[in-house]
Chains A and B, each alone.
Chain A
Amino acid sequence: MKKILETKNLCKSFGAIKVADELNFHVAENEALGIIGPNGAGKTSLFNLITGTIKQDKGNIFYQGESIDHLNVPNRCHQGISRSFQIPQPFGGLSVFENTFVAASHGAGLSTAIANKTCIQILEQTGLLSKANQIANTLTLLERKRLELARALCAKPKILLLDEIAGGLTESECQLLIQTIFAIKDTGISIIWIEHIVHALMSVVDRLTVINFGAKIADGPPKEIMNSKDVKEIYIGIEADA
């Protein structure tokens, strides 16, 4: 399988805190990779490194076989890397539709007519169409998280980075989200999903990577990983936190 994204010996620390410690991991094309790890393990920081909002101290990031270390944040998005934010970052004064339109027109570079169509279709897919004209500031936290997903999708990514989008959902909402993510995967998009709601993650991802203190401590088939002794210890930690 071809790798769409790969990191080599990625290192990053904030003072004494190591958020990436000689991190080597990869995602194959059309693979869904799950990432778990305790709070503060460096999961969100990993997304920040991949999208370029923070720069690594050492190591390289490869995307479709080429180093992207020299690319700035918007260019990485144009190349097909798009993310949702754990703490939603809506354009507060713009409507839900306009939020997604920014992603479709600038992130994906679509013409206005095609961007409009794309946004409508993705808003429908993510269940936000009825809120299309609502100003993003007035959305609830759950709606904002859904907007994060919709907006990231409108940038037409080849690899989608999802950061804790299932938290706070009811069981049926969670099932809908899982279906949505399966549908996204069916269109050929690779996915990295960071999630504390482990059962949701387990039902979607092909592979699971566990991170602690910025280092990879396990990687493999989801069931196997969850049953390993090292991970169980941390998993219990996560459950206690969540």
Chain B
Amino acid sequence: MNKEYEILQSSKVSRASGFIAIFLIIFLFFAPWWAGRADIRLLSEIFLYLSLASLWNLLAGYCGLVSVGQQAFVGLGGYLLFALTIFSGFNPFAAILVSGILGALISLPVAFLIFRLRGAYFAIGTWVVAEVFRLSFAQIQSLGGGSGSSLPVGIVKSIASSKAMRESLTYWMILGLTVFILLSVYLILRSRRGIALIAIRDNELASQSLGINILRSKLFVYVVTAGLTTILGGLIFLQKLRISPDAAFNVNDWTAFVIFIVVIGGIGTIEGPIIGVLVFFILRETLADLGSIYLIMLGFVAIFVMIRAPKGIWGFVSSKYNIELFPLSRKLKEIKGE
């Protein structure tokens, strides 16, 4: 009796959620035809936060690299967009792609410094690096120094002549990049590299002894994340058309809210950032008028979720109902043969 086996990385649920995801992406692609300008802006912002959250989740939730300094790369991306278009005459979209590569390269020496630090020291180190970036860019007088500058009209016009077309193009870029980032994170985690990251997270000693180079695995994720975050930064400030050091390297906007989203949604799960970003924007849209009370409310929500569901909303749901929408697991299945 010779049994045969196969290894499955998907399930009925995952195929269904993949199908729904594709449908949703097509639907969102046509948003410029069915949504108003304000809605397009809101959707863009949701996608940008979803991307930032997925990347931070990969970094902190899967690699244990709890960075509170990702604003370094958001700001870098914004400033590179301005510098490359103003000084080097790049087309804005080309500038954003180039800045992604530059961001990844710059993250290498940064990693060399901060990877010597562990735990809380690592977190503080990332923040210090972001502050150094902020102070450095504030010194560049040709980009407006401490008070910042606007993207010249000529460059803005070079994206597209009409305002509506420009906004639609930017929206599609953001949507496309979001799909690319979510898919990348998912595919990385499903790959051999991904299972190595999860193995490291579960047991460093065993993962090393079984041939995994921990430093190299984490460095790979750090550099990829930095490059993609830099690209996001470029798109964020292409949408804003104005940049200043305080806005570009803002720890609240680009890190604190992102951490909130991931922790609320479920850190270390693929689905967590998606749930988290929805909760965050629902809260923001309903409570933003309350001013600073809104931030206090966010704090309470965070505390409540952390006490009642330490693994976030998705962690709670998935362990209760035992579901994975986007599975990473490899399941052994017997093929009933003759």
Contacts and interface: CB of A to CB of B under 8 A. Distances in A.
Contacts of A72: 213
Contacts of A155: 210-211
A234 interface: no
A83 B196 contact: no
Interface stretch (A10-18, A26-34, A74-82): A74-82
B211 A77 contact: yes
B207 interface: yes
A89 interface: yes
A111 B213 CA distance: 18
B309 interface: no
A90 to B, nearest CB: 7
Nearest to A115: B192
B252 interface: no
B330 A89 contact: no
A139 to B, nearest CB: 13
A98 interface: yes
Interface in B281-338: 329-332
Given A93-B198, A105-B195, A120 B332 contact: yes
A112 B192 contact: yes
Contacts of B195: 94, 98, 101-102, 105
Contacts of B192: 105-106, 112
Interface in B193-235: 195-196, 198-199, 201-203, 205-214
A85 interface: yes
Interface residues of B, number: 24
Contacts of A77: 208-211
A102 B212 contact: yes
A53 B181 CA distance: 36
A195 B111 CA distance: 43
A57 B77 CA distance: 48
Nearest to A105: B192
Contact of B199 (A73, A78, A83, A91): A91
Contacts of A89: 203, 205-206, 209
A134 to B, nearest CB: 10
Contact of B203 (A53, A92, A101, A116): A92
B332 A92 contact: no
Interface string B75-116: 000000000000000000000000000000000000000000
A106 B198 contact: no
Given A77-B210, A132-B332, A151-B210, A102 B205 contact: no
A102 B209 contact: no
Given A105-B195, A107-B211, 6 more contacts: A53-B205, A73-B208, A82-B209, A98-B329, A129-B332, A132-B332
3 closest residue pairs by CB, A with B? A107-B211, A91-B202, A89-B206
